[in-house]
Amino acid sequence: MFFSRTARIYVPCALASSVTISLILGIAGPVSRAQQHGSTSATAPAEDAKASHFVSDLLSRMTLEEKIGQMSQIAFQEKDSVSHDERIRRGQVGSFLFITDPVEINRLQHVAVDQTRLHIPLIFGYDVIHGFRTIYPIPLALASSWDPAEAQHVQSMAAREASSVGIKWTFAPMVDVARDPRWGRIMEGAGEDPYLGSRMAEAQVRGFQGDAIGSADHILACVKHFAGYGAAEGGRDYDSANISDEQLWNVYLPPFHAAVEAGVGSLMSAYMDLNGVPASGNRFLLRDVLREKWGFEGFVVSDWRTVENLKTHGFADGPEDAAVRAVNSGLNMEMTGSVFRDSLAAAVKSGLVKESTIDDSVRAILLMKYRLGLFTNPYASLDHAKAELGSTAQHEAARVAAERSAVLLRNEAGLLPLKKSVASIAVVGPLADSKPDTMGSWSLAGHPGDAVTVLEGLTKKLGSTVTVNYSKGVEIDRVQPSIFDEQFASPKPVLRTQQERDAEFQHAIDQVKRSDVAILVLGEAQNMSGERASRSNLSLPGRQQELLEAAVATGKPVVLVLLNGRPLDITWASQHVPAILEAWYPGTEGGNAIANLLTGIANPGGKLPVTWPRSVGQIPIYYSQNLTQIPDETDTRYWDGSSSPLYPFGYGLSYASFHLSNFKVDTSSMRADGSLTAAVDVQNTAAVAGDEVLQLYTHQRAGSASRPRRELKGFTRLHLSGGEKRTVSLTLHTKDLGFWSPQTHRWAVEPGVFDLWMGEDSTAAEHATFSVVP
């Protein structure tokens, strides 16, 4: 595929689909693109041979205990009866996580390189999820840009910062498909769709790793959580996922496969049981699918203490059994815990684990260390770190990303952008001046002092000509504390009495009354999203809904700006608030980006990567459902309310307006290796420039199994000047129509008639049909 940051166009090519498939009349099945054509992150054959020889020689000189040490990772902050330095000297650790100080990283690295028998360097890992020191929009927001080139650029910039301090490995991207917004970790992925998720997975892997593993200023990516974690029952984090084979192959696995095809160097196993088997002891996932079907050659790390928790799951009967099951299933490194270190040697000596299995794990780990350049240049440059962290270039990139990720959900009577006649605005809400809550969850290495809040951004943008009146109005807090509060906390409530809280509420409404326009910044505190942050409802926490309704009742124009990591219940707002801007958690430059968006300096062009429910009772709700009984009456499935979404997948408005015409396809039939091109004229009918995302959907009318009513198969984001008209084309390849059939138990493209739509969201109206012929 081709990414253009200047044109902002994503163009699928013959190798863009997550699987390689053939017609049902021939042999069908997923084929590794890395095996066929070479990984996009592959090194030259001569370099591969050199690396293999180096690692094989090193492995031949290692003791069993030293090998197991390379398979062990230690969390820096955790207490241990033996010092970190001594663990390194004994060869009992190959990796550390949660260290960000380059001085300490270099010191520990010197212990490993200078004071151990074989001088094997450490690899330092960290959760670089959406930035390091400079925080970018959360991954769900990046998916809202519908711009893989932007996602690639963001993660490349994040890699620059992280690598400058000596971190060479990130535990990202998360590519779990998520269709339940109650699940807190929906904010870390690309939403509900496997096609969009696959394109974002590829882009982020390339962003982190560069053209090849070991590229300067880049780091090793780790795709997680393999697999099915996003389908946790009830949206409850860590709960089991029970997924049919059809859904697993067609929905949940494709983004992982796309990441493997893009050359990712490591994967992380998931916490939960998948169909009754813990993912960290699941041979089907870690060997049958990952190694044998996909040809993955990197290494797999567990999630936090998941090896020892194989016993907690009722899967293993003790630590040694857990170690045996994990390693024999295909797990290569234990994140935290000491099960491998304490139990694997005895298991090998007793014959429960072959030493060749240990060698395979260690070889994969050492190869990645070699390719990252750790054997030749393991140390961080303090001068480079000082220049890179929080640089002007980082902040500029963060602002652009936040602007491109925002989604305009409603804009009645053109309330936005704010008119130049506005003389005063009220900026109200518990998140309006909260730096951590502007940054978002998983901002652990970020500095809140760097962040620009919405209040600060608007004051800077308008303060010399417009009066800015502020009140937080209400405070919000979690009922239960977050596991990350000690590392990165949201502001705690300071209003102690009901009288104080009522006074602040009234102060906010007074500020609205004395202003021309009110900007209400509402949503969730950052610790309300992320890991162990699932919710049983989607309402605005605390008294925010009451505050919003009171502000609207004043009669003043109200703009709702949402800071959040999941769709929330804004059904009332969608009917009564004239303008709604979904900004997600926009990151360090969020306030400046939102100020630019509200004033028209930037024009919203993002689209939803999720279907937005009206209420929690609709969940799960997603656009690509199968056709069933009475398909044309989808809004009548509940007798006590609508069954249609509040906003469809792919939806988003702009200050510009676009008209589509002259839709056509260049052929009415395709063969096995064929393609068709769909084209449509797009005209910006407004005077202002803006971005539109053209989306292509298909439906297979009949076959060996029922297929979703629509499936995304292509998209492109384009920029049009005011009045500009352009013909936009998207190419669909026959193999992009393949699926895993629950009848035949294989991948295939089945001959028959297909529908094709092209338009602005998943309800696209421009329609054509075509056939796939043998």
* Residues assigned a catalytic role: 303
Looking at residue 569, its amino acid is D
**Using CA atoms, how far apart are residues 151 and 196, in angstroms rounded to an integer?**
12
Please write down the HEC assignment for all residues of 466-520: CEEEEECCCCCCCCCCCCCCCCCCCCCCCCCCHHHHHHHHHHHHHHHHCCCEEEE
Q: Which of 222, 240, 224, 234 is nearest to 189 (CA)?
A: 224
**Using CA atoms, how far apart are residues 595 and 403, in angstroms rounded to an integer?**
10
Residues paired with 467 in a beta bridge: 424
3-state SS assignment for residue 337: coil
Sequential DSSP letters for 19-31: S---BTTS-----
**Using CA atoms, how far apart are residues 22 and 440, in angstroms rounded to an integer?**
43
Sequential DSSP letters for 715-748: EEEEEE-TT-EEEEEEEEEGGGG-EEETTTTEEE
**Using CA atoms, how far apart are residues 200 and 147, in angstroms rounded to an integer?**
8
Length of the chain equals 774
Contacts of residue 17, Cβ cutoff 8 Å, sequence gap at least 6: 198, 733, 735, 736, 738
Pairing relationship of beta strands 690-700 and 711-720 according to DSSP bridges? antiparallel
**Using CA atoms, how far apart are residues 724 and 690, in angstroms rounded to an integer?**
10
**Using CA atoms, how far apart are residues 271 and 82, in angstroms rounded to an integer?**
28
Phi/psi for 90 (5° steps) reads -80, -5
3-state SS assignment for residue 377: coil
Identify whether the C-beta of residue 473 lies closer than 8 Å to the C-beta of residue 501.
Answer: no
Identify whether the C-beta of residue 38 lies closer than 8 Å to the C-beta of residue 274.
Answer: no
What stretches of 351-474 show up as alpha helix (H) in DSSP?
355-371, 382-388, 392-405, 435-439, 454-462
Looking at residue 19, its amino acid is V
**Using CA atoms, how far apart are residues 39 and 50, in angstroms rounded to an integer?**
18
Report residue 485 CA to chain centroid gap. 22
- The sign of the CA dihedral 620, 621, 625, 628 is positive
| Full strand arrangement of the beta sheet holding 669-670 | 669-670, 766-772, 752-759, 690-700, 711-720
Phi/psi for 544 (5° steps) reads -65, -40
3-state SS assignment for residue 290: helix
3-state SS assignment for residue 347: helix
Contacts of residue 527, Cβ cutoff 8 Å, sequence gap at least 6: 441, 478, 482, 484, 485, 488, 489, 490, 533
**Using CA atoms, how far apart are residues 144 and 606, in angstroms rounded to an integer?**
5
**Using CA atoms, how far apart are residues 502 and 493, in angstroms rounded to an integer?**
14
**Using CA atoms, how far apart are residues 515 and 421, in angstroms rounded to an integer?**
12
H/E run at residue 692: strand 690-700
